[in-house]
A and B are shown apart, each in its own frame.
Chain A
């Protein structure tokens, strides 16, 4: 059994790593919960953003924050463009899953052709900084990520609860026809939401570039965990997604400390399966 300090450190690292899961889960959760579209290419967009941030940073020495300012609107446009396709062909949930799966493969191939299958690491001065709090180390970059994820989740939640656009979206998700009868322009809102979901992938991608090692096949590395997070956090609920992300992150990290790092992937799915079996009301 590892020491209390080690466990505490594992817990902190896990919760912080869970911030990224939450951030990745939010965009998915929104489009799945409110548009009934399952977007597997979300991960591909996040990694495409990460590679662009990496490329701009290493080749052109652009600060990551400026890169993000370019990447995020670009992703918004791609997301809205994808929605045009779904809308044009009246794509249902399963078909959206297959189409975005294929789209992700195409992006993966494109990344591999341009950046090769080698591992890439974006070395920045931020990446290695950490704060010491008592016996624990807190990596600054991941802390920033969690704060940003928290702000986005909270902001999105408020936006969905309080504003007209948010309420209209939730109404349309319940019953698009009835909502339309009350004057909700669902189509326009759907474009907005798809764009926002993809923009979140851009934000997540920026952080991935700063804290992780990049390789084309990594696109699939987050897939299982993040979907577990989306389901546990409840579809369409950004705060739930973040909380579930941190829960899964913490459980993985503790499993790594107690068992062995190689077992981490099993944890999230065990949590998911336990929750599915339990089938609580909020699911």
Chain B
């Protein structure tokens, strides 16, 4: 186990050492230039993947960031007489600001998110190219870099550019590694799979997307800054080319854009291929062939080479090494009885969708430690109420407070951090994460920050609590409906909620599974959570609820003890029609 882990590290250390001192070997210039191009594409494609691969927002505008950085260095060195190295931070900062600006516009829109983002980034490329072409930044004539002195890092200018490209490449890979293994990366992967759920689990999606976008653009800008010295003569048409996004996407998709080193592998392979074509003098045909490879890769290898290889390895490893599941200490808070304090207070909660009024002024108090059943005919607004309380829909008017704090107009992730967790009627797991990773994410973002090992133990505890032990490393696709519903519960519990909103957890389960689920809900309350649950199954409502609230046509229709409410003729009439009420 340890040898298998250390081997890649040793390999990487040797590779870094050899590559760093390669210019001293005085190889023919071709190798310097070829390897520089490998570093160049590895850095660009890896930086693209930080946002586009990890979070799934495909950018077609990487040329805009790369080009802005390139021109920043070119203009500062030639027109303002700056030395070369200090221009690089500027070359990184300007694209980062640009990215934050674009992101602030696009990421706020709920509809059209992915494709709109792709096209807007492409459009930005054209706008920036036009601006640079028509202003004194370039002015249409291009910029010569030949007079700009390079810092004497090695004996030759080629060697110096090589070293700069290499340093950037290693730094980019280090950033990608760090992001992939951090809280930020976990959040980005969740955004990739299901952004709404990620937000509901406490991931600050807008902020994370902006950070990833800024990082991605900054690296591309710095790469552009170094590349300005490599190309020597800079033109707008040569810089803001569609080749840049095309190749970057191809390399990342081919290697696996969700993996931190997938793009590097794709970039190395494709750069070698391209060199073969260019030295054969067939650059145009090369572009066409690259396009054909991209189409084939998307159709037959949609996840990329690295994830495909990983999946294959995992399949062959699982049979041999079955992981021992540690006995974990239960994380049990004290058990409060139903208290007099009000945890959730809704006042005049109204939600309109255009002309349709889904909720028309609902007033509801839920006491600490209580189980409140929320029932009502189809379309009465039960799920809408859950969606409003959890922040998925903004309120039209009214107020919602949790433990005395107004949450009505907070973003969903802020509400989640205040101890509100929810499940979905149709389970919505993060499909590319294992069961354990799904629960770890909810535990990480749902409450206070804790050491990773502690979070893992808690996650295992909740997986065991919901009876999913042994399935930790399974992807959600490998679970049946019953298990997926319980995964929903495990995720909600891992956030240690004060208020748990359950949306039809029992629907679609068979009678034995329903009994099981009812026991589980009781156990959850015993852990100290307050529960609001939407349910159609009357047996469960009566068995579980302390009180029942009946919604009808977006208004609170009745409220009280389960047996009394369900016998109320008015309630019977809205369910079955007037004839049965008598």
A interface residues with partner B (beta carbon < 8 Å) = 32, 38, 85, 89, 91, 93-95, 97-99, 101-103, 105-106, 109-110, 112-113, 220, 223-224, 227-228, 231, 235, 260, 262-263, 265-266, 269, 272-273, 276-277, 279, 281, 283
A194 to chain B, nearest CB (A): 17
Which of chain B's residues have a CB closer than 8 A to the CB of A113? 284
Is B109 a contact partner of A106 (Cβ separation < 8 A)? Answer: no
The number of residue pairs between A and B whose CB atoms lie closer than 8 Å in the complex comes to: 99
Q: Which residues of A contact B127 (CB under 8 A)?
A: 224, 265-266, 269
Which among B111, B123, B284 is the interface contact of A269 at CB below 8 angstroms? B123
Whether A224 lies near B133 (C-beta < 8 A) is no
Q: Is the CB of B134 within 8 A of A106?
A: no
**4 smallest A-B Cβ distances: which pairs?**
A102-B291, A109-B288, A224-B123, A105-B291
Distance (whole angstroms) from the CB of A42 to the closest CB of chain B? 13
B38 within 8 A of A: no
Q: For the complex, what is the distance from the CA of A95 to the CA of B249, rounded to whole Å?
A: 11
Residues on B with C-beta less than 8 A from A281 are: 354
Q: Provide a sorted-by-A list of 14 A–B residue pairs whose CB atoms are within 8 angstroms.
A: A85-B299, A91-B299, A95-B298, A98-B249, A99-B299, A105-B291, A106-B292, A109-B285, A224-B126, A227-B119, A260-B134, A265-B130, A272-B123, A276-B106
Asked if A279 contacts B291 (CB within 8 A), the reply is no
Residues in A whose Cβ lies below 8 Å from that of B292: 102, 106
In the assembled complex, B58 has its CB within 8 A of some CB on chain A: yes
Residues of B contacting A32 in the complex (Cβ-Cβ under 8 angstroms) = 115
B277-298 residues with Cβ-Cβ distance < 8 A to A are 284-285, 287-288, 290-292, 294-295, 298
Decide yes or no: A38 and B288 within 8 Å by CB, A97-B58, A98-B294, A266-B131 being known contacts. no
| Nearest Cβ on chain B to A35's Cβ, whole angstroms | 13
Report yes or no: B288 in contact with A105, Cβ–Cβ below 8 A.
Answer: yes
Say whether B246 contacts A94, CB under 8 Å: no
Known: A109-B285, A263-B130, A276-B106. Is A227-B295 also a contact (CB below 8 A)?
no
* Contact across chains for A227 and B123 when beta carbons are under 8 A apart: yes
Name the one of A103, A262, A279 contacting B109, with C-beta atoms under 8 angstroms: A279
A73 vs B435: C-alpha distance when bound (angstroms): 51
> Given that A102-B246, A106-B292, A262-B134 are known contacts, is A97 also in contact with B123, CB under 8 Å in the complex?
no
Q: Is B122 an interface residue (CB 8 A)?
A: yes
Instruction: Judge if B253 is at the interface, Cβ distance under 8 Å.
Output: yes
> Cβ of A235: which chain B residues have Cβ within 8 Å of it?
112
Task: Give B556 Cβ to nearest chain A Cβ, in Å.
Answer: 29
Q: Is B544 in the interface zone, CB < 8 Å from A?
A: no
Residue B302 CB within 8 A of the other chain = yes
Are B134 and A98 in touch, CB under 8 angstroms? no
- Residue numbers in A under 8 Å from B109 (CB-CB): 276, 279
With A106-B292, A109-B284, A231-B116 already in contact, the answer to whether A269 and B298 are too (CB < 8 A) is no
Find B295's partner among A103, A112, A223 (CB 8 Å cutoff): A103
Chain A residues within an 8 Å CB radius of B133: 262
Determine the chain A residues whose CB is within 8 A of the CB of B111 once the complex forms: 283
CB B38 to nearest CB in A, in angstroms, measures 22
Given the known interface contacts A94-B114, A106-B288, A262-B134, the answer about A273 and B105 at a Cβ–Cβ threshold of 8 Å is yes
B112 touches A102 (CB 8 A): no
A38 to chain B, nearest CB (A): 5
B198 to chain A, nearest CB (A): 18
B204, chain A: closest CB distance, angstroms: 21
